[in-house]
């Protein structure tokens, strides 16, 4: 499950394994091993991956399908605006 999720997140961002490895300060081989299900990341790396992709560790592990948007540094007005945009998108679908 983790391997599919991390691959999907990487591809959604348009990243190669090499690019993701650089972002997370690991080797390309490490990312490849994650995606092939050969190894799982340490807890420390799992947290780093979740922060990078703005998802929970539960999401990465396939335990929860919710995703979030990082709003740290935004004003309450900006956050409210983003919430309104999301609600508009959901109503149109």
pLDDT score at 65: 82
The whole-angstrom separation of Cα 68 and Cα 50 is 10
The answer to pTM > 0.85 is no
pLDDT at 28: 97
Domain boundaries, position 6:
1-93
Which domain CATH number covers 19? 1.10.260.40
pLDDT at residue 19, as a whole number: 97
> For position 38, what pLDDT does the model report?
95
Average pLDDT by stretches of 10, the chain with 93 residues: 94 96 96 95 95 91 83 92 91 79
CA-to-CA dists, residue 74 to 45, 55, 63, angstroms: 26, 18, 29
The pLDDT of residue 5 is 95
């Amino acid at each position: 499950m983790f391997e599919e999720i991390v691959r999907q997140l990487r591809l959604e961002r348009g990243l190669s394994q090499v690019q993701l490895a650089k972002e997370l300060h690991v080797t390309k081989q490490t990312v490849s091993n994650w995606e092939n299900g050969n190894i799982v990341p340490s807890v420390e790396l799992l947290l780093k991956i979740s922060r990078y992709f703005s998802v929970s560790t539960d999401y990465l592990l396939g335990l929860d399908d919710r995703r979030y948007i990082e709003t740290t540094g935004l004003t309450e007005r900006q956050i409210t605006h983003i919430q309104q945009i999301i609600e508009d998108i959901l109503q149109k679908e």
